Amino acid sequence: MSSLISNTELTQQLEALLPSCANLIIISAFMTQPATRWLGHLITANKPKVKLVGRFTPNDFVKGASDLNALRDCINNGYEVKALANLHAKIYQIDHDTIFNGSANLTGKGLALVNNGNLESCSRVNACEQSKAFINKIVESATNLTLNTLDKMQAYLEQFEDADKAELPAVWPEEILSQTSELFVSDFPLGKPGVSLNEYQLNPSLPFAQIEYAKDDLVLASTLFKQTKAYCWLKAQITENHSDRDLGFGQVSRLLHDVLCDDPAPYRRDIKGIQANLYGYLALYASNEIEIYVPGGRSQVLKIKNNFT
């Protein structure tokens, strides 16, 4: 049975385990140089295989939550560094038997490596196959970063004056960092249009958090909606897979259930709620492209508008 420990205790246990580990996976929304250098000193001798996954959105670097130079150090050290825009988890997997899971990021404050560090907590658990599969799915879903990618990120951020950085997009342009192709619940609206959610405040990089932030600008919100993976997926189901017939609510529910990569998979009733939220956004921001109609007063059906090309 696992028990809670503080981030100070987490750091102490990592300092005991890391010098002899052969494989290390760290999933942390944020990463900064005090922590990555601390990590490097611990594993210099044994040179384990290291995989790091972070959120790494434009605002994370502007606000100092993550550090481009820290990531450069990691790549130069031979670590595999990856980005996942909707990440909020903090997980440390050492070899194939130990996992720490909690609130501590791989940062100076998160691991209490600097003065006035955060008060965090986590638990240590044995690594069962299900947990390792969940971690592996996160790693596989993330996008690889290279030194060239980091240079492009820095050049992009330098284009913005300090006064404009508050208006930075929550995700990178596709030419800098492509979105992962997998679909997760977080790629879809977690609530109805116009509803403020704690999840959106905690992770403003979520696509529908961005739309809610821009809701007073109908043109911008519509553009952002039509760029989401959720909308692009839905439109593809109509135009590519079902070009000979319109798509009913139940059909979309089944397709959505099969495509979501979350582990564990959401219940069908939850999927129907997510789908209903998506239809609300569809009616508000893309009614010029896709029509929702109810033939005979029954299920909602989707079809591409004839005048849309």
Q: 61-75, 80-94, 163-177, 271-285: which range is least confident on average?
A: 163-177
Residue 281 domain-assigned (yes or no): yes
pLDDT single digits (tens) 271-309? 999 999 999 999 999 999 998 888 776 778 888 876 554
- Is residue 70 scored above 90 in pLDDT? yes
User: What average pLDDT score do residues 157-179 get?
Assistant: 78
Residue 164 domain-assigned (yes or no): no
* Residue 306: predicted pLDDT: 67
* Residue 304: predicted pLDDT: 82
Whether residues 115 and 221 share a domain: the answer is no
Q: What is the pTM of this model?
A: 0.71
Number of domains in the chain: 2
Q: 59-68, 175-184, 186-195: which range is least confident on average?
A: 175-184
Whether residues 194 and 120 share a domain: the answer is no
- Give me the percent of the chain exceeding a pLDDT of 70: 93
* Residue 164: predicted pLDDT: 66
* Residue 309: predicted pLDDT: 47
Q: Report residue 166's pLDDT band, with 50, 70 and 90 as the boundaries.
A: low
pLDDT single digits (tens) 3-46? 899 999 999 999 999 999 999 999 999 999 999 999 999 999 99
Residue 269: partners with Cβ closer than 8 Å, 6 or more residues away: none
Last residue of a domain, one of 157, 190, 213: 157
Residue 295 domain-assigned (yes or no): yes
Whether residues 140 and 32 share a domain: the answer is yes
Residue 173 domain-assigned (yes or no): no
- Is residue 99 scored above 70 in pLDDT? yes
Whether residues 68 and 200 share a domain: the answer is no
103-107, 221-225, 244-248, 257-261: range with highest mean pLDDT: 103-107
User: What average pLDDT score do residues 145-172 get?
Assistant: 84
pLDDT single digits (tens) 184-229? 888 899 999 998 888 888 777 788 988 998 899 999 899 889 888 8
Query: Which CATH number fits the domain that encloses residue 105?
Result: 3.30.870.10
Higher pLDDT, 106 or 164: 106
The token pair at 21 is 């580990």
Residue 98 domain-assigned (yes or no): yes
- Is residue 50 scored above 70 in pLDDT? yes
- Is residue 132 scored above 50 in pLDDT? yes
Whether residues 9 and 127 share a domain: the answer is yes
The domain of 106 spans: 4-157
Whether residues 135 and 210 share a domain: the answer is no
* Residue 65: predicted pLDDT: 94
Whether residues 136 and 25 share a domain: the answer is yes
Whether residues 14 and 79 share a domain: the answer is yes
**Rounded to an integer, what distance in angstroms lies between the CA atom of residue 206 and that of residue 186?**
7
Residue 176 domain-assigned (yes or no): no
* Residue 167: predicted pLDDT: 67
